[in-house]
Amino acid sequence: MQHQMAGNPDTDWGSGLYDCFEDASTCCYGFWCCPCLACTVSGRFGENNFLPLCDIISPAITASCGIPLCVPPAVLSLRAAIRHRYHIKGSLCKDIAVSCFCLWCSWCQMHRELKHRKKGPNVIVVQNQPVVQMQPTVMMVPQAGFMTQTVVMSQ
């Protein structure tokens, strides 16, 4: 079941899974250094840069314990998170299939999507502004019979 917010209808991916020639630099980068591309995608999305190394290390660790691991966890989780954040159409079943059978094409597609959306970590610059406190001036005015009256004047 897909949930969507009223103001944010689901959209398609900015590029197809096999649209490598749409952005040849991404696919060339992925071809020559797939782990580097995966780490770049993870970092641009705001996750730990080395998260994709779980996809390389975890199958060896689980296999040594006798547990076969079929779905690469990092690519699956990032793909689902990108779809959720940007309201992209799809399902978890499709994400699993793409993560298992088209691993590097998936990383390339996510890289193109993040480049297309130009979403990096938001940087907020805060400048210190001087604080000016306005306090009323209190003046004592002498009155007849040594009584005083307080007069408050605003600046």
Give residue-wise pLDDT tens across range 64-120.
777 776 778 888 999 999 999 999 999 999 999 998 888 888 988 998 899 888 744
Q: Residue 3 is encoded by which pair of tokens? A: 């949930």
pTM summary value: 0.62
Q: Is the pLDDT of residue 49 over 60?
A: yes
In the numeric block, the tokens 């969507």 are attached to 4
**What is the pLDDT, as a whole number, of residue 2?**
47
What is the 8-class DSSP label of residue 54? H
Task: Give the Å distances, CA to CA, from 4 to 9, 16, 73, 87.
Answer: 7, 22, 24, 7
Domain ranges across the chain: 20-117
Whether 37 contacts 29, CB under 8 Å: yes
Dist. CA 142–CA 120, nearest whole Å: 66
Torsion sign over Cα 69, 74, 75, 76:
positive
Q: Assess whether pLDDT exceeds 80 at residue 132.
A: no
Three-state secondary structure call for residue 88: strand
pLDDT digits (tens, 9 = 90+) for 68-78: 767 788 889 99
What's the rounded Cα separation, in Å, for the pair 40 and 46?
10
